Structure 1
Amino acid sequence: MKIVGIEAIPFAIPYAKPLRFASGEVHIAEHVLVRVHTDEGLTGTAEAPPRPYTYGETQESIVAVIEKIFAPQILGLTPLEREAVHERLDRTVGNPAAKSAVDMALWDILGQAAGMPVSGLLGGYTDRMRVSHMVGFAPVGDMVADAIRIRDTYGITTFKVKVGRKPYTDDVAACRGLREALGPDIDLYIDGNRGWSASDSARALREMADLGLTFAEELCPADDVLSRRWLVRQSTVPFIADESATGAAEVTRELLGGSATAISIKTARTGFTGSQRVLHLCEGLGVETVLGNQIDGQIGTLCAVAFGAAHRSASLHAGELSNFLDMTDDLLTEPLTIESGTLHIREGAGLGIDIDPDKLARYRLDT
């Protein structure tokens, strides 16, 4: 079975409300649907969500690199030749979302060919994950109301609170308001997207010491090497590296250098193959991981839950699997549903991604 074609289809779906955080804000999901075709009629599907303010990719750059560089390099290979595929993709620097989508689409083909779910091929630990929800920048009352709505509607009991504003006291007040409104049984953790300085981060952590935070993520830039290490040494909660640790080598650097004590794994950034490498590295070092989210739509979320549910350590904490709830629509024929705070993998062969052709025709941008 040979790879005979790759499609990179740009599409745009508005969000019901803007998602705001320290590194930017998103009003429209301008993503890329990636399809890898084989000569035996099997097609693998994945989603590439560009984040230009974090990784430098845009919707246009993802389409261009897949069509003009990646496709000519891997046509004629088989889906089993993943190492050869990655060797060729890695000749091009960066472009993590584009590479990851190709990787996950190849795994989708392998699952279909084997008649097995991809989650089973990856590890098969469980068929579901607990879900966490992101609470973005807004007035405190709005943040509290959003979290209560999500808890009461979907049974979600873990919330990732975006912080990083100036002054930092605004975010401290928001976290305190969330804790008071949601009670002690809700898990709260914070993500600064590099928005604070190390000194403000330290002040904020001290002022929130009584809130029982589960994690603190990327509060200040990892490029501020000594300041970041100084902050992490005094942190009383595990400190997650996310955008500063996008692959196994960077994970090693951040952990051994003392700039993090936990790692966020995002399938939209490292696919399934790279995410397994990062996960196994963390397991070997005894480091906790969280399944992160790149503001994925439902396609990307299906990929993420397939990976997280496949591995015992990846499913230990609630995964960031609910950002699609803020989108006005999506491309799947059968939408995802979160019930009792959990999301299930799709049954059947591959990833279970079935695209609604009418929705794709409505939202695609290349016709």
Structure 2
Amino acid sequence: MNPTVHSVEAILVDLPTIRAHQLAMATMQQQTLVIVRLRCSDGVEGIGEATTIGGLSYGDESPEGIKLTIDTYLAPALAGLDATNVHAAMARLNKIARGNRFAKCALETALLDAQAKRLGVPLSTLLGGAVRPTLPVLWTLASGDTQRDIDEAETLLAGCRHNTFKLKIGRRSVRDDVAHVSAIKRALGERARVTVDVNQAWNEADAATGIAMLEAAGIDLIEQPTPREQRGALARLAARFVVPIMADEALTGPEDAVELVRGACADVFALKIAKSGGIHGMLRTAAVGDAAGIALYGGTMLEGTIGTLAAAHGFCTLPQLAWGTELFGPLLVKDDIVTERPVYRDFDLHLPAGPGLGLVIDEDKLAFYRRDSVRVTSRPAAAA
């Protein structure tokens, strides 16, 4: 008899960031993770993560809402189900609740992690196998201070950690943002790619003005310049400019991918496992884009190590990944809740070799950083 799902625990974890991280809609001083621990009747535990950016200012799910949804609706629906049949379990959840992709992603990750551990193989093996052992990773320069961002980029270039940099813009006037980005591109020159993420902050007229100036400044990629609902505006901008336009917030899953392809709305798709409802949803979305000749990019919700490596296991199986990834979330937080943090070297993220995600939870760190902690009085030593 196959093992069944015995229990599911959803835990809110608050991790401090290494610096303020500015987005168009919010400034982050910490990152909140929802960590899922799924225990099976055979003693195997799978772990997963759901993380959002800027709470409800970014999207429809908040960390608190994700935990509530899992505790109240999704975990009870999984109880007693075959823990080895991930597709059947997720089909059950899709009948219980519409949407709630982030919550479902965390649970799917935990089910996949448990099954891969049970079989003694990396999670990517369950997806058909990795076609690349490492993934290129960019870094977001989001302090808002031009010289500080230049200095940060120079340090990371010199240390061979990142050679592509993304600028978060949209909080200031178009011309001020363009001046900020252009100065950084001039300083870095051809030694690094520079991209921008507007996070939907511009209307179409401002986007046309801003993109023209950014294209002239040598910027390599423009991410989601206009609101996600305005697909027509995105299509007109994609047709007007040579610099690639990437859809991010406008793309939540394969259904959106079909509509974006039909409308010629973007040159690049930002793939995120959380927005797609899990790794398998992301793979379906990627297949639509790849078949239509859309370039692919591995996105992030600034997850901690668990969510980051779940995405990495999925992205490493994609035949095409022209724009690399931005899986730098673990580098943005001062500490983490796993015994070994990911390895970033030679501009790439290196996947661990162990079974499942290749991770082990640090119980002391989890006890300290979980929001409902009442037992821990001193902070454990930071991980190396």
TM-score (norm 2): 0.91
Deviation at 1:154, TM superposition (A): 4.2
Distance in 2 (alpha carbons) for counterparts of 1:349 and 1:261: 36
> What code does the residue aligned with 1:125 have?
V
Which of residues 124, 128, 131 in structure 2 aligns to 1:119?
A: 124
Which of residues 51, 56, 81 in structure 2 aligns to 1:77?
A: 81
Distance in 1 (alpha carbons) for counterparts of 2:249 and 2:231: 15
Contact 2:52 2:302 in 1 (8 A): no
Which of residues 286, 293, 298 in structure 2 aligns to 1:291?
A: 298
Tell me which residue corresponds to 2:64.
60
Q: Deviations over 1:315-358 (max 9, x none)?
A: x3321011322211111101222111111111021111211111
Tell me which residue corresponds to 1:350.
356
Contact 2:207 2:225 in 1 (8 A): yes
> What code does the residue aligned with 2:43 have?
G
Contact 1:143 1:174 in 2 (8 A): no
Tell me which residue corresponds to 1:89.
93
Compare 135-144 and 346-355 and name the one that shifted more: 135-144
Residues 1:107 and 2:109 aligned together: no
Q: Deviations over 1:194-218 (max 9, x none)?
A: 0111111111121122333332110
Residues 1:319 and 2:325 aligned together: yes
Q: Secondary structure at the match of 1:182?
A: helix
Q: Secondary structure at the match of 1:90?
A: helix
Tell me which residue corresponds to 1:24.
26
Deviation at 1:287, TM superposition (A): 1.1
Aligned residues: 366
Distance in 2 (alpha carbons) for counterparts of 1:312 and 1:174: 35
Q: Secondary structure at the match of 2:10?
A: strand
Which has the higher relative contact order, 1 or 2, with Cα contacts under 8 A spaced 6 or more apart? Answer: 1
Deviation at 1:137, TM superposition (A): 4.7
Q: Secondary structure at the match of 1:236?
A: coil
Q: Deviations over 1:217-264 (max 9, x none)?
A: 101113234333322221212211111111110111122123222211
Contact 1:137 1:163 in 2 (8 A): no
Contact 2:231 2:260 in 1 (8 A): no
Tell me which residue corresponds to 1:152.
158
Which of residues 27, 35, 38 in structure 1 aligns to 2:37?
A: 35
Distance in 2 (alpha carbons) for counterparts of 1:226 and 1:57: 26
What stretches of structure 2 of length at least 5 have no aligned partner?
374-384
Contact 1:154 1:338 in 2 (8 A): no
Compare 85-94 and 115-124 and name the one that shifted more: 85-94
Deviation at 1:311, TM superposition (A): 2.0
Q: Secondary structure at the match of 1:269?
A: coil
Residues 1:98 and 2:103 aligned together: yes
Tell me which residue corresponds to 2:16.
14
Q: Secondary structure at the match of 1:85?
A: helix
Which of residues 40, 45, 48 in structure 1 aligns to 2:50?
A: 48
Compare 89-98 and 181-190 and name the one that shifted more: 89-98
Shift >4 Å, 4+ stretches: none
Distance in 2 (alpha carbons) for counterparts of 1:286 and 1:119: 24
Contact 2:297 2:324 in 1 (8 A): yes
Residues 1:190 and 2:192 aligned together: no
Matches within 5 A, 1:151-230: 151-230=157-236
Tell me which residue corresponds to 1:361.
367
> What code does the residue aligned with 1:107 have?
L
Q: Secondary structure at the match of 2:73?
A: helix
Distance in 2 (alpha carbons) for counterparts of 1:335 and 1:114: 23
Which of residues 263, 286, 293 in structure 2 aligns to 1:257?
A: 263
What stretches of structure 1 of length at least 5 have no aligned partner?
none
Distance in 2 (alpha carbons) for counterparts of 1:73 and 1:342: 39
Distance in 1 (alpha carbons) for counterparts of 2:69 and 2:369: 21
Contact 2:306 2:357 in 1 (8 A): no
Contact 1:55 1:95 in 2 (8 A): no
Contact 1:154 1:340 in 2 (8 A): yes
Tell me which residue corresponds to 1:245.
251
Contact 1:21 1:137 in 2 (8 A): no
Q: Deviations over 1:274-326 (max 9, x none)?
A: 11111111121111110001011122211122222222213x33210113222
Contact 1:263 1:290 in 2 (8 A): yes
Distance in 1 (alpha carbons) for counterparts of 2:174 and 2:332: 26
Tell me which residue corresponds to 1:273.
280
Contact 2:215 2:243 in 1 (8 A): no
> What code does the residue aligned with 1:196 have?
W
> What code does the residue aligned with 1:98 have?
A
Contact 2:342 2:351 in 1 (8 A): no
Q: How many percent of aligned residue pairs carry the same amino acid?
A: 29
Contact 1:332 1:355 in 2 (8 A): yes
Distance in 2 (alpha carbons) for counterparts of 1:344 and 1:337: 6
